[in-house]
Chains A and B, each alone.
Chain A
Amino acid sequence: MTRQQILDLYFMDARARLIDLAAFMDRVERADGEDDFRMSAFREALKELEKGNPDRAKRVLLSFSDPSSEPIERAPGKGAIGAYPHTK
């Protein structure tokens, strides 16, 4: 497909998702209290979008990932959170 055809197919969807992201950030910042490592990870991931690399999706996923390599001693539960607390 040409770039124009890709835009025709996906621009409106991407536009809607981008506005949703903006509204999400506004919603978080309007709310009382502190945010946590998830929002820090989110902001770091957003930076990947403007770097101009051709593999943005991969880089965003990597930025949210646990970078360690050793298995943990015991599973703390079953669920995943979506971001890794890099400062822990």
Chain B
Amino acid sequence: MRYIEPHGHMVSRTTDDYQDMALAGCAAICEPAFWAGFDRSSADGFYDYFCQLTEHEPKRAAKFGIPHFCWLCINPKESEDTKLAEEVISLIPQFLDKPTVLGIGEIGLNKNSRNELKVLELHVEVAAKHNQLILVHTPHLEDKLKGTKLILDVLKNDKRIQPERVIIDHVEEHTIQLVLDAGFWAGMTLYPESKCTPARAIDMLEVYGNERIWMNSACDWGMSVPLAVPRTALEMKKRGHTAELIDKVIYQNPLQFLQQTPRFKLL
């Protein structure tokens, strides 16, 4: 088996996880910038984090033969402070030429506030100006439906944004159709408690098709499973899906999206 982990917060994971992922056939890991579990006190903290994502983490992954890529942003959970957000966003362009930066992400909304929307629009501006791919985080639980609709409005209203260059992540049964119908890619996040289980992710593949869809573990410091993607591949096999289809969903599809930036190169 081969697979791409298109969304994993490896700075929160142990070296053992890298080893397990390598053993399971992980061909690449993509790490979006996210909330650390606490609010950073200044833009300097983000500068260090961006250095960690672009310089240190690729070296950790390389010890296990896994190419590591990243996305940069200030996460929506820290977007309520728009002054801090503006300072952080002003740091991003200097990192965009780093060889493993894929684009802007994971941007989006958390509680669907006006400030979060403003910061989302600032990120979209950077992405459009620098012709970057975009990875979008959609809100949690009761906030997901409304947030997904607000995010889609922002993206669709900016004519510079090409939907096929945007992945909208953490879709569930009530948001996936909205995302696919608008021409965007959809990401399904495999979590043990929230978001979706392997069985539900496969249900969505069976109902909504397997084009413009990927699956990810979004493993981080919370309840999450770094091997969620290969485990779901095993579940697909139990459900009678062919090796070709499994390979398409866990390898070819993320490859197709990510290769839209020339920086995404496999070993």
Contact = CB atoms under 8 A, between A and B. Distances in A.
A54 to B, nearest CB: 9
Given A72-B113, A78-B77, A84 B142 contact: yes
B88 interface: no
Interface in B153-170: none
Contacts of A5: 240
A19 B239 CA distance: 24
Interface in A39-81: 55, 57-58, 61-62, 64-69, 71-81
Contacts of B238: 9
A1 B111 contact: no
Contacts of A57: 172-173, 200, 203
Given A72-B112, A75-B116, A66 B200 contact: no
Given A1-B239, A9-B239, A57-B173, A71 B113 contact: yes
Interface residues of B, number: 30
Contacts of B174: 58, 61-62, 65
Nearest to A55: B173
Contact of B142 (A77, A78, A83): A83
A74 B113 CA distance: 5
B114 A66 contact: no
A61 B203 CA distance: 15
B114 A73 contact: yes
Contact of B140 (A73, A74, A80): A80
B199 A10 contact: yes
B80 A74 contact: yes
A70 B141 CA distance: 17
Nearest to B147: A66
Contacts of A78: 35, 77, 110-111
Contacts of B240: 1, 5
Interface in B122-151: 139-146, 149-150
A67 B80 CA distance: 22
Nearest to A13: B199
B252 interface: no
Contacts of A74: 80, 113-115
B146 A68 contact: yes
A74 B39 CA distance: 17
B111 A72 contact: yes
B109 to A, nearest CB: 8
Contacts of A67: 145-146
Contacts of A76: 111
Contacts of A84: 142
A65 B114 CA distance: 19
Interface of B: 35, 77, 80, 110-117, 139-146, 149-150, 172-174, 199-200, 203, 238-240
11 contacts: A9-B238, A10-B199, A65-B145, A66-B145, A67-B146, A75-B110, A78-B111, A80-B111, A80-B141, A81-B141, A82-B142
Given A68-B146, A74-B115, A79-B140, 9 more contacts: A55-B173, A57-B173, A58-B173, A65-B144, A69-B150, A71-B112, A71-B113, A74-B80, A83-B141
